Amino acid sequence: MKITIIYDTSSGHTRKMAQAVAEGAGTIEGIEVVVKHVDDASAEDLFSEGVIIGSPTYCGLMTWKLKALFDKSQGKAWGKVDGRIGAAFSSSGGLGGGNELAVFSILNALMNYGFIVFGLTEYAGKGVTAHYGAVAVGDP
């Protein structure tokens, strides 16, 4: 099973999250992980069995570059990836700054494409969870 992690980054925090997610996923046997900056990603990358999208929180949403990937890939991938697995993560400058909303904007786009999405009920640590996808405030 191939998982593709596509991320955008501004301060480098979301890149760090992408690397942490990749390391976590890479420890599972039988999982091949590919990490791509949004500048290097294309519609083909949305055909992986699992797609995880990470974005800095910009105006409470994913960045325009990630949105452009979804918009421009519609002709090739939309409606052709039904039932594949999608997830999201985001990094923001402040608590209450929109990171959950940014995660939800990604889940929204993934569901629109046909991906099935999910969160995690477990707590990653005291007071840190990923019910809708991992979030971080500042340096993760």
Residues binding its own copies (CB under 8 A): 58-65, 67-68, 70-72, 74, 78-79, 82-83, 93-101, 103-105, 108-109, 111-123, 127-135, 137-138
- CA torsion angle 51 7 45 87 (round to 10): 10
Q: How far is the CB of 75 from its own copies (least distance, A)?
A: 12
**CA-based angle 13:61:108, to the nearest 5?**
115
Q: How far is the CB of 57 from its own copies (least distance, A)?
A: 9
Closest to its own copies by CB, 18 vs 103, is 103
Instruction: State the CB neighbour count (10 A cutoff) for residue 28.
Output: 10
Q: How many Cα atoms occupy the beta-carbon half-sphere of 125 within 13 Å? A: 5
Q: How far is the CB of 110 from its own copies (least distance, A)?
A: 9
Closest to its own copies by CB, 5 vs 87, is 87
